[in-house]
Structure 1
Amino acid sequence: MIRYALKCAEGHSFESWFQSASAYDKLAAAGMVTCAVCGSTSVEKAIMAPRVRPARSAVSSVGDAPTEAPSATTTTPAQTPTPVSAAAAIPAQAPATPSLSAPNSDLERAVSELRKQVEANSDYVGGNFAEEARAMHLGDAPERAIHGEAKPEEARALLEEGVPVMPLPFLPSRKTN
């Protein structure tokens, strides 16, 4: 697993884990890496500090641990890492990047509040949004507040038919990281 610091075209910074560097490249090329804040697919790797493990002698409480790190180019059976507890391996300091669970700016707070209002006052219809909206417009289904997903072509067709629709500035909850 590899963790990347990412940044979208709108300037939102976030982190995400990938199976490998090539897995990130494949997902990014397919447009499947999206901003956790705005949903933009224009996402690039951002500069991030490397995560360096402390020397084994600094982590281990055993007195016979080596005092210098082994060479990165050679590996011998004597250089196997000393097991340490998970608590000792995790740094005690807070992460340098902001948490994605809490909005950081006024815009993010407003989008978060809008999401709460939309989810509380409308029904999620998923990929059936175009069919549901069209049926309500034609009178085949009772009118109600709905939100869901539609392909750009479906949304365009709804607008051409006079069905009032608008995009929301967030992804459905199931599609967020």
Structure 2
Amino acid sequence: MKVLDLQCRQAHVFEGWFASEDDFQDQRRRGLVQCPLCADDQIEKRLSAPRLNLGAREPVQPRAASEPAAMGAAAPQTLAAPAALPPALQAAWLELARKVVAHTEDVGAQFAEEARRMHYGEVQERAIRGQATPDEAMELLEEGIAVLPLPLPAAAKETLQ
């Protein structure tokens, strides 16, 4: 099993698992490898270190806040390093997208029509999602119907391993 660090054109970084390098290249050529955040299929490999399982280590006990740092050692950082923020934000976005998918009904291209029917009391209100053109979205807003453009990546609609 090959674990690859991947990146899309929008610089979203994610991990992919493939049977081999050939498997990755084949799936990439067929457009099957997509960014889980934006669904971009223009994916490139990033440099990544091999993963070696050399046995379990004994867990490190966290130092108490009142315990002094070792001589010459820097004080522990309380804020996340800037490099750690984008993956955390990416994970949070994907979690939010999955929650939206789990708690809404997909009405597809009928979104604008269904939103109007709910707004005017023709059908019971419920949480929906779907597709609308920019013009349809503007018309809904002009009618006082609240809509929120929310691009949902394909990965949010399925279980990832």
Q: Structure 1 length as normaliser, TM-score?
A: 0.49
Pair 1:156 & 2:137 matched: no
Are the structure 2 counterparts of residues 158 and 107 from structure 1 closer, same or farther at C-alpha, using a change threshold of 3 Å? farther
Pair 1:134 & 2:113 matched: yes
Residue 96 of structure 2 aligns with which residue? Answer: 115
* Matched letter for residue 156 of structure 1: T
TM-superposed deviation, 1:175: 3.1
Structure 1: which 4+ aligned runs deviate by more than 6 Å?
none
Q: How far, CA to CA, are the matches of 1:18 and 1:48 in structure 2?
A: 14
Q: How does 1:39-118 map to 2 (within 5 A)?
A: 39-51=39-51, 89-92=53-56, 104-105=85-86, 108=89, 112=93, 115=96
TM-superposed deviation, 1:17: 0.4
| Structure 1 unmatched runs, 5+ | 54-88, 94-102
Aligned-residue identity in percent: 27
TM-superposed deviation, 1:23: 2.4
| Structure 2 unmatched runs, 5+ | 58-83, 142-146
Q: How far, CA to CA, are the matches of 1:167 and 1:46 in structure 2?
A: 31
- 1:101-126 per-residue CA deviation (whole Å, 9 max, x = no partner) reads xx83498179539927x639x94223
Residue 157 of structure 2 aligns with which residue? Answer: 174
Q: Structure 2 length as normaliser, TM-score?
A: 0.52
Q: How far, CA to CA, are the matches of 2:37 and 2:44 in structure 1?
A: 14
Alignment length, in residue pairs? 124
TM-superposed deviation, 1:7: 1.2
Q: Which has the larger radius of gyration?
A: 1
Q: How far, CA to CA, are the matches of 1:158 and 1:141 in structure 2?
A: 23
Residue 129 of structure 2 aligns with which residue? Answer: 147
TM-superposed deviation, 1:49: 2.7
Q: Which has the higher contact order (CA 8 A, sep 6+)?
A: 2
Pair 1:19 & 2:1 matched: no
Are the structure 2 counterparts of residues 109 and 21 from structure 1 closer, same or farther at C-alpha, using a change threshold of 3 Å? closer
Q: How far, CA to CA, are the matches of 1:35 and 1:90 in structure 2?
A: 31
